[in-house]
């Protein structure tokens, strides 16, 4: 029975180059070049330190968060009907505005007394009731308007604090982020440089396997 054996491989002229490449690869492996990991750069370390300072207990981020949480009191009061939004808020507002309300009421009553006096009704019960009602309305309207302004300002201010808080965190962190990005780019370049010899060996072996390099083969056959 006939047998045929075929072998193939690199041309003879390429063999020394392959052996040399293998020797170089072994040398790289022995010195740890194939296990190269670029260390963190000074820029990355500085960025991490900045982030620790910003994010640590009592740091800037904590302070901004505390301010933002404090601003939520207005929303919590509005939702719960407490504080400026409580049932007793208008009464408290009137009490705090006694001076300005009293001045306004005196002016109004002075006008009404003049009107009633000219009509001959100054001392009548109806005239007194009318003046009392007018005085109460003036006081209530003034207090309600001021309370509405205070409520609107509290909610608007809370929203401003939230927006400012997010902006402040972004601004304080921007420097550390940029520094970290620069450090990462430097680290990648260091990694590329450290891997250059290993990558070169890989490319060389890829070239040796290229069809353009050619190959050699032998075939032997047996008899019956």
- Give me the residue spans of the domains in the chain: 4-221
Give me the chain's average pLDDT, please: 73
CA of residue 134 relative to chain centroid, distance: 54
State yes or no: pLDDT of 212 exceeds 50.
Answer: no
Contact 3, 219 (CB under 8 A): no
How many other CB atoms sit within 10 Å of the CB of residue 53?
Answer: 14
State yes or no: pLDDT of 6 exceeds 70.
Answer: no
Q: State the Cα torsion 42-45-190-172 to the nearest 10°.
A: -100
Dump pLDDT digits (tens) for 32-84.
667 777 788 888 888 888 887 877 776 777 777 777 777 788 888 888 898 88
Reported confidence tier of residue 10, pLDDT bands at 50, 70, 90: low
Q: What are phi and psi of 216, to 5 degrees?
A: -130, 150
d(CA 58, CA 180): 23
Give me 9's structure tokens. Answer: 């491989």
Q: pTM for the full model?
A: 0.41
* Most confident listed range (98-107, 147-156, 170-179, 213-222): 147-156
Q: State the Cα torsion 8-12-13-15 to the nearest 10°.
A: 80
d(CA 125, CA 119): 14
* Length of the chain counted residue by residue: 224
Burial status of residue 8 (CB atoms within 10 A of its CB: 0-12, 13-18, 19 or more): exposed
Say what the pLDDT of residue 38 is. 79
d(CA 77, CA 154): 10
């Amino acid at each position: 029975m006939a047998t045929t054996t075929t072998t193939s491989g690199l041309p003879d002229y390429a063999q020394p180059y392959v052996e040399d490449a293998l020797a170089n690869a072994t040398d790289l492996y022995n010195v740890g070049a194939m296990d190269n990991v670029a260390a963190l750069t000074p820029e990355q370390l500085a960025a991490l330190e900045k982030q620790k300072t910003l994010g640590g207990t009592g740091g800037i981020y904590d302070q901004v968060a505390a301010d933002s949480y404090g601003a939520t009191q207005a929303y919590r009061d509005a939702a719960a009907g407490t504080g400026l939004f409580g049932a007793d808020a208008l009464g408290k507002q009137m009490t705090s505005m006694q001076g300005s309300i009293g001045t306004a009421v005196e002016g109004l009553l002075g006008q009404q007394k003049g009107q009633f006096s000219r009509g001959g009704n100054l001392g009548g019960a109806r005239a007194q009731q009318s003046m009392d009602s007018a005085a109460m309305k003036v006081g209530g309207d003034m207090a309600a308007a001021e309370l509405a302004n205070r409520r609107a300002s509290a909610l608007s201010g809370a929203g401003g604090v939230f927006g400012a808080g997010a902006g402040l965190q972004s601004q304080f962190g921007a420097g550390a982020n940029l520094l970290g990005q620069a450090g990462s780019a430097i680290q990648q370049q260091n990694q590329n440089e450290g891997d250059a010899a290993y990558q070169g060996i890989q490319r060389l072996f890829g070239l040796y396997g290229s069809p353009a390099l050619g190959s050699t083969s032998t075939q032997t056959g047996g008899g019956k």
